[in-house]
Chains A and B, each alone.
Chain A
Amino acid sequence: MSELLQPVIVGAGPAGIRAAGRLVRAGLRPIVLDEGQRAGGQIYRRPLIEDGRSYRSRYGSEAGKARKLHESFEALLPEIDYRPETLVWNVSPPERGNQLDVLSAGGHRQIGFSQLLLCTGATDRVLPFPGWTTSGVYTLGASQTALKAQGCTIGDRVVFMGSGPLLYLVAWQYMKAGARVEAVLDTAPFTSKRHLLPLAVRASRIVGLGLFYGLQLQLAGVRIHYGVRPEMVLGKGQVEGLRFRRRTLMGVASETISCDALAYGFALRPETQLADLAGCRFRFDERDRTWLPERDALGRTSRPDVYVAGDGSGIAGADAAEISGELAAMALLEDRGQASAADAPRLVTARDAILRQRDILESAFPFPDDWFETVPDETTLCRCEEITIAEGRHAIASGAVTEINRLKALSRVGMGRCQGRMCSAAAAELLSGTCGTAADKVGRLRAQAPVKPIPLGFSAGLETEGCS
């Protein structure tokens, strides 16, 4: 490890920004890389062009936190080496030293690091159902991004569906923005909401906000249904409505609802491919039904010079991301021989309290693990490669497949543009459901560089810095 190398932080969301702050206070000048144009990450995403909207109208209840985070970042700018619009698409494995491959301004660069902190966040988790690839169907997160970053809505008459805290929040935000919310279709049964009761005592603000969103939606006449399963998107070429099933007192009923856009999602999935390429060990997390890099309480991974923080190390929300960014920075500093910070125990306690609340919150929005029992075979499973569930099932049966990389090899699921970032959650569920095994038994897709597509023409004129 060369003395000249600086620590590198990937991701300028809540986790990355707080980590950078800690490192700067300890006298370092970290390199901060983010593929976005502006810092802030997902929740505190900033508009590309200032549109004159207030923090209050853009970030609602989180306006104060958003402002603080953005201001902290502005203050850090002279002290850090910040590079926006820089996609990190590869990390060298430990056998090959410590460098990143990045794409910026259309060119290829290699950047060496002394230590690497991955704060890559999360994206929506989606599951396939008939018509989910129709134009006008968005993820919950994307529909919110449209609102935050571009100040526009995905439609005039919108249905919100799925599970997870974002469901009610985004529906409410749309209502406030003037869109007509046709319905909120919660895939979790109403009974799952009883889990919120104990949470109300520990985290009255979260539950209070949730109730507030739900109540305001209902007062405005928005229909809210629980235990919903979608049947199909209506409309050819463009969303015209949704047909869905729900449990009523009379049994299961099928209903249709008309809309011009649908936003749906099932909580989030962490972005972990860089940690995988870096060679970090992974473990299966039952609650999030996904594989996460192993980490200690502060964020050290199994690779001594690589750290993780924020949602990319386990879905826990923005407040936890800020704290975990600080903690990971402390670990990084400790490992450079700087004394451990006095406030570490307090921060660990605060973060753990959020994690406990999060566990309860997640049980109020359970994952619909019976999904593939009812989704018809001709539904698209992998949209990049246009593979149907039937083809996935056929590959599983005819190839005696029990493992996800084998499923990829035999069916092409996860081989397309998104490299499985969007479809592998669904593919893993389909595989474990078909084989009748637990979700962790089917393994995880091995990451390959580039983690996101890069232009073929980028390779002319490689620049390196801090690399031997």
Chain B
Amino acid sequence: MSRRISIDVAIIGGGLVGSSAALAIRKAGLSVALIDKGYCGAQASGVNYGGVRRQGRPPEQLPLSQRAHRIWPQLKAMIGIDAEYMRCGHLKLARTEKDFAKLEAYAETVRDYGLGLELIAGSALERRFPWLSAKAVGASLCPEDGHANPRLVAPAFARAAERAGVAVLELTPVRDVVATGNGFGILAGDGVEIRCRQLVNSAGAWSDRFAAQFGEAVPLIRIYPSMVVTEPLPLRLPVSMGEQGGSFYGRQVARGNYVMGGGRGLPLADPDYSRPSVTAASSVMQRAIALFPHLAHAQVIRFWSGTEAEMPDGNPVIGPSETTSGLFHAFGFCGAGFQTAPAVGAVLSELVTEGRSTTPIEAFSIGRFRKVTAETAASL
């Protein structure tokens, strides 16, 4: 189906980053095309654990994360659904004194960012969380962190964007993109040609290809977090849980299912698809039983995994291209972009319409890899 579209801004990738950017940029008055190779929110944004968590992030991410924290409770007004968002608290356990010391140090480091962390040690932990069976030295609680249903958020952002007038092109893979001097030309799907003045690269774990096309090679690697879900069980776990120095995380959704993750899956030959690894899933299950012995006879109904982009320094790439004017990158969220994505969309809108971000994003510049990549090249 051949089709020509001329538009102010084209966005490659309709994950939560791309679709929230589309809505924000459209609301700022520009015309927008949101392009996804599959369905909006069917990749990382749609299959993640659903943790809406600030606790544990490096300080440089916290301004962005705090901005997102203010957006999440407004979803109903923005996109028509609350996406089961709940501020139920995020509890991070420490199994050893050493781990607890790390939690204390973290709380100290981020004291000025307003996370409201509470350190709970020893017997206070048992009194406060009597359902907790595992031996723990202490924990750090971020009372206003929580979770939401990832299946619903990004698709709802995309539909809201569509209602606001965004051209949403699903099942339309971007095949080629070039800078034309005064903008960009895109070839997508079966003969869709798009011309735009500005371009957003929010293609998730596939973004490196588009960055490289503009001379900005990045050391992006793909990761596949492994997830496990049980049948619905009586409600018992009131918080979203994590562990210092361990890889287990778990929450109980409103319907009663325990959703738990930890460890990594592996890609299939077609890297768009991955499989959770049985080893990772088994260790998640073992840890779950240690933490919640009442789950011993619960049934696990499904494992799954998803494709996520990771950067070597644990921070995403967000900001203008350093080679091509009018191009903006936003990718590489290292397994933690669900919470921040709505704020990333807002930042992208500011970048596109005003050329600057009101939230500090210097730490996320793509240029930070230029030096590294050049040095690596030189050493070869």
Which A residues have a C-beta under 8 Å from some C-beta of B? 90, 93-96, 101, 108, 110, 279, 398-400, 403, 405-406, 409-410, 412, 415-417, 419, 446, 448-450, 453-460, 462
Beta-carbon contact of B155 and A410 below 8 Å: yes
Name the contact of B297 in the complex, choosing from A94, A417, A450, A457 (C-beta under 8 A). A457
Could you say which residues of chain A place their CB within 8 Å of the CB of B295?
456-457
Could you say which residues of chain B place their CB within 8 Å of the CB of A455?
296-300
Could you say which residues of chain A place their CB within 8 Å of the CB of B109?
none
Instruction: List 19 interface pairs A-B (beta carbons < 8 Å), by A numbering.
Output: A93-B268, A95-B267, A409-B151, A416-B231, A417-B231, A417-B301, A448-B303, A448-B304, A449-B278, A449-B303, A450-B302, A453-B299, A453-B300, A455-B298, A455-B300, A456-B295, A457-B289, A459-B281, A459-B282
Could you say which residues of chain B place their CB within 8 Å of the CB of A417?
231, 299, 301
Task: Identify the closest chain A residue to B302 (Cβ).
Answer: A448
Which B residues have a C-beta under 8 Å from some C-beta of A? 39, 42, 46, 151-152, 155, 159, 170, 230-231, 266-269, 273, 275-276, 278, 281-283, 285-286, 288-289, 295-304
CA distance A341 to B168 in the complex (A): 58
Task: Identify the closest chain B residue to A101 (Cβ).
Answer: B278
Could you say which residues of chain B place their CB within 8 Å of the CB of A448?
302-304
Could you say which residues of chain A place their CB within 8 Å of the CB of B42?
405-406, 409
Output the least CB separation between B189 and chain A (Å).
15
CA distance A398 to B80 in the complex (A): 12
Output the least CB separation between B231 and chain A (Å).
6
Task: Identify the closest chain B residue to A406 (Cβ).
Answer: B39
Beta-carbon contact of B304 and A456 below 8 Å: no
Tell whether A419 pairs with B269 under 8 Å between CB atoms, given A406-B39, A456-B295: no
Could you say which residues of chain B place their CB within 8 Å of the CB of A457?
285, 289, 295-297
Beta-carbon contact of B159 and A399 below 8 Å: yes
CA distance A415 to B285 in the complex (A): 19
Could you say which residues of chain B place their CB within 8 Å of the CB of A459?
281-283, 285-286
Beta-carbon contact of B155 and A453 below 8 Å: no
Could you say which residues of chain B place their CB within 8 Å of the CB of A93?
268-269, 275
Could you say which residues of chain B place their CB within 8 Å of the CB of A458?
285
Name the contact of A95 in the complex, choosing from B230, B268, B286, B302 (C-beta under 8 A). B268
Beta-carbon contact of B301 and A450 below 8 Å: yes
Could you say which residues of chain B place their CB within 8 Å of the CB of A403?
39
Beta-carbon contact of A456 and B301 below 8 Å: no
Task: Identify the closest chain B residue to A399 (Cβ).
Answer: B155
CA distance A458 to B303 in the complex (A): 14
* 17 additional A-B residue pairs with CB within 8 Å, beyond A110-B278, A459-B281, A459-B285: A90-B278, A93-B268, A108-B282, A403-B39, A412-B151, A417-B299, A417-B301, A419-B302, A448-B302, A448-B304, A450-B301, A450-B302, A453-B231, A455-B299, A457-B296, A459-B282, A462-B282
Output the least CB separation between A397 and chain B (Å).
11
Could you say which residues of chain B place their CB within 8 Å of the CB of A462?
282
CA distance A398 to B285 in the complex (A): 36
Output the least CB separation between A95 and chain B (Å).
5
CA distance A150 to B170 in the complex (A): 52
CA distance A110 to B279 in the complex (A): 11
Name the contact of B230 in the complex, choosing from A279, A409, A456 (C-beta under 8 A). A456
Beta-carbon contact of A454 and B300 below 8 Å: yes
Could you say which residues of chain A place their CB within 8 Å of the CB of B288?
456
Output the least CB separation between B211 and chain A (Å).
27
Task: Identify the closest chain A residue to B285 (Cβ).
Answer: A459
Name the contact of A96 in the complex, choosing from B230, B275, B289, B303 (C-beta under 8 A). B275
Output the least CB separation between A381 and chain B (Å).
16
Beta-carbon contact of B269 and A456 below 8 Å: no
Could you say which residues of chain B place their CB within 8 Å of the CB of A405?
42
Tell whether A454 pairs with B159 under 8 Å between CB atoms, given A95-B268, A449-B278, A460-B286: no
Task: Identify the closest chain B residue to A453 (Cβ).
Answer: B299
